[in-house]
């Protein structure tokens, strides 16, 4: 296999500017880190989704910072070229920017290139604090799983004009604060495409339509090993694939070709 050039933040920004779709999947261990990047995935997310798919929790809220640090270190040892993002778990950054810095520092020292935090408004100050001190930040708007109880459940966000305008305002504030990437989860495809056009940074969608700069899914969901009912935006890439690596290659190819997600099947 030809060795891939390591992904950088500048390359991700260039991909966004040129319209080259970015591929991202969640990853929690060294073996899958190697497999995913060999299959062409450019960005790995150590998501706090591990609480649900690995630990059997009902939500992401119980995940501890120590657990995120452990899994980030595992993934970092398995990757060679992929860009590595790690979630700041619930309770590790809400108290103050200083708390966020201490938490983010542990994830970066474990091997993360970037940290991700959820929410808009108050988070802009935290993003600025981290970026000014040398830690790249990915923001997360729309459906924010850590605060799903406040949102009334796993519902599409930004459906009405007021909610859409607030989401756009928060996105712009986060960019102005220094965020270098944004995840949009479960928002109408038209709104996500508008946000992607208005921002100078990559916008990664999950249930946000094909108009984003790239796509992310939970690994266990797209491999069809997560028990129970899956969200509408998930596609079973194991269907018709002879191996896990082939399934991931199909995912990469479909994101690049903009055949996933499909408007009528995986979007809102």
- Chain position carrying tokens 């082939």: 246
d(CA 46, CA 48): 7
Contact 26, 18 (CB under 8 A): no
Q: DSSP characters for 123-178?
A: HHHHHHHHHHTT--EEEEEES-GGGTTTTTSS-----SHHHHHHHHHHHHHHHHHT
Say whether 185 is catalytic: yes
Whole-Å CA distances, 42 to 58, 97, 136, 183 = 29, 29, 17, 15
Q: Which two tokens stand for residue 135?
A: 């830690």
Q: Are 185 and 140 in contact (CB under 8 A)?
A: yes
Q: Active-site residue among 42, 173, 185, 254?
A: 185
Contact yes or no for 159/127 (Cβ under 8 A): no
**Is 132 in contact with 126 (CB distance < 8 Å)?**
no
Whether residue 204 contacts residue 182, with contact meaning beta carbons closer than 8 Å, is answered with yes
Copy the structure tokens of residue 181: 């990437």
Q: Determine the 3-state secondary structure of 59 from DSSP.
A: coil
**Which residues belong to the active site?**
185
């Amino acid at each position: 296999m030809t060795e891939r050039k390591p992904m950088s933040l500048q390359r991700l920004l260039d991909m966004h500017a040129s319209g080259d779709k970015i591929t991202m999947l969640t990853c929690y261990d060294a073996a899958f880190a190697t497999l995913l990047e060999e299959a062409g995935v450019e960005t790995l997310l150590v998501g706090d989704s591990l609480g649900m798919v690995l630990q059997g929790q009902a939500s992401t809220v119980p995940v501890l910072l120590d657990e995120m640090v452990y899994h980030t270190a595992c993934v970092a040892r398995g990757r060679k070229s992929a860009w590595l993002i790690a979630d700041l778990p619930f309770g590790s950054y809400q108290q103050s920017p200083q708390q966020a810095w201490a938490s983010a520092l542990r994830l970066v020292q474990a091997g993360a290139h970037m940290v991700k935090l959820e929410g808009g408004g108050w988070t802009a100050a935290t993003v600025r604090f981290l970026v000014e001190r040398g830690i790249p930040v990915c923001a997360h708007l729309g459906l924010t799983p850590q605060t799903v109880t406040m949102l009334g459940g796993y519902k599409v966000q930004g459906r009405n004009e007021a909610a859409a305008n607030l989401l756009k305002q928060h996105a712009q504030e986060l960019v102005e604060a220094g965020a270098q990437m944004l995840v949009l989860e479960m928002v109408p495809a038209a709104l996500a495409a508008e946000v992607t056009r208005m921002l100078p940074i990559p916008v990664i969608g999950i249930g946000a339509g094909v108009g984003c700069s790239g796509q992310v899914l939970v690994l266990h969901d797209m491999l069809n090993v997560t028990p129970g009912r899956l969200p509408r935006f998930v596609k079973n890439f194991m269907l018709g694939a002879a191996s896990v690596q082939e399934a991931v290659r199909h995912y990469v190819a479909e994101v690049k070709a903009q055949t996933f997600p499909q408007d009528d099947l995986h979007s809102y």
